[in-house]
């Protein structure tokens, strides 16, 4: 049985990580579309990589695989790292980090990264 639990936990972690990656890509795709930037794979990847790096660091720092569906602390840590590291990397690569963008990115990624976890918690309780 422990093997099944480990497999289940690994599967849950992969699902959660995939959901986080999809959320970041959705955020970047919507942002590019709203600014009339091209919706090419290369363009989306260029916009998404700093935030995806932040997501990955968040997962590593908090050990996201241990409780991948939890809003607190995993979701919050992943969200904060996604925004903070994403903005730092954007600044280091001379991409935009206007205060209004930081606010929009923070709110949007909070809704996405914390929202899917909250929805999953509601579904699991029912």
Could you read off the pLDDT of 81-110 as tens digits, one per residue?
999 999 999 999 999 899 999 999 999 999
DSSP 78: H
Helix (H) or strand (E) holding 123: helix 99-125
Angle between helices 41-62 and 2-34 (to 10 degrees): 140
Is the pLDDT assigned to residue 8 strictly greater than 80?
A: no
How many of the other CB atoms lie within 10 Å of CB of 120? 19
Per domain, the residue ranges of the chain are: 2-125
Helix (H) or strand (E) holding 98: none
Residue found under tokens 């093997």:
3
């Amino acid at each position: 049985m422990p093997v099944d639990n480990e497999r289940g936990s690994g599967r849950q972690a992969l699902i959660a990580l995939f959901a986080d990656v999809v959320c970041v890509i959705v955020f970047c795709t919507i942002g590019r579309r709203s600014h009339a930037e091209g919706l090419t794979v290369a363009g989306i990847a260029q916009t998404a990589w700093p935030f995806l790096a932040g997501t990955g660091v968040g997962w590593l720092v908090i050990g996201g695989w241990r409780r991948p569906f939890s809003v607190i602390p995993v979701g919050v840590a992943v969200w904060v790292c996604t925004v903070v590291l994403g903005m730092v990397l954007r600044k280091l690569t001379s991409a935009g980090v206007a205060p209004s963008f930081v606010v929009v990115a923070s709110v949007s990624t909070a809704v996405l990264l914390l929202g899917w976890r909250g929805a999953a918690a509601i579904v699991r309780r029912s």
